[in-house]
Amino acid sequence: MRYPKVSECVDVFEALWPTALAESWDSVGLAVGDPDAEVRSILLALDPMDAVIAEAVVLGSDLVFNHHPLMLKPVKSVNASTLKGGAVHTLISNDIALFNAHTNADSARGGVSDVLISLLGIDNAQPLVPHAEGSPTGIGRVGDLPTPTPVRDIARTLSNRLPRTTTGVRIAGDPAATVARVAVCGGAGDSLFDEVRASGAEVYITADLRHHPATEARDTANRNDGRPQLIDVSHWASETVWLTAAAEQLETEFAERGLSVALQHSAVNTDPWVERY
């Protein structure tokens, strides 16, 4: 066993979460780092926030693996006095590479939405928006519960199995409605209501539901058969549970290639909300 180079880590990431699965608007891959640098330790975190990068410095990590990209939108400067430039300079000055798998990790089998829907005992879910007809990969997941369940009980299960957050778990619609078919999208999913309705889902679980999309979705539901009911969870909570599964996949893939690297989970909670009144 030997330590991998950054480029070999990228090969491992690509094998698990191919860039080809990313949405066209997304930014994924190696954002910072020397491909020839040696990697002994990888820190896994959801967001490339300053606190996570500082944690990587303290831990002596050689690479930070994130879900969310540091530079989703183009930047014109990496001046150290700018928000993005400051992060880039800290990473480079401490010889830390930065890589992210975003919508490619949402779409891949065993990815973010697979992990989210598995919390409800659904392990045969199909993509809500497949990349192609019959494809096993795509955005979101839809599947059937082992037993029809009231919406409020699904919300309580999620509250118990997701990390605790200030915003908690919220229901829009009828909490007492009994449902069997479930659609989920880890992270922000209020752009997928048409696909959710087309899937026949009776409840839709996602994050960051805004007022207007949620009220319009409920009006649309009420003018028809009342579906889907809505469950809104924390963006951070809906995705951070995937990091444990990602670490397990990485351990297996590195070992199969004869590579040795320490994987550490970030202790930083990057959910931005800290109090509610």
Bind-site residues for a divalent metal cation: 67-68, 106, 235, 239
- Partner residues linked to 178 by β-bridges: 150
Both tokens of residue 27? 């930014």
User: Which has the closest alpha carbon to 13: 75, 140, 98?
Assistant: 98
Sign of the alpha-carbon torsion through 192, 171, 174, 115: positive
Can you list the alpha helix ranges (DSSP code H) found in the chain? 6-16, 50-59, 83-93, 103-107, 112-118, 151-161, 193-199, 211-222, 235-240, 242-256
* Cβ-contact 140, 125 below 8 angstroms: no
* Cβ-contact 42, 61 below 8 angstroms: yes
- Partner residues linked to 63 by β-bridges: 42, 97
Supply the Cα-derived Rg of the chain in whole angstroms. Answer: 20
Going by the annotation, the residues of the binding site are 67-68, 106, 235, 239
Q: Residue 180: is it exposed, middle or buried by C-beta count within 10 angstroms (0-12/13-18/19+)? A: middle
Classify residue 190 by its DSSP letter: T
User: Which has the closest alpha carbon to 238: 131, 129, 162?
Assistant: 162
Residues 6+ apart with CB under 8 A from 12: 4, 250, 253, 254, 257, 259
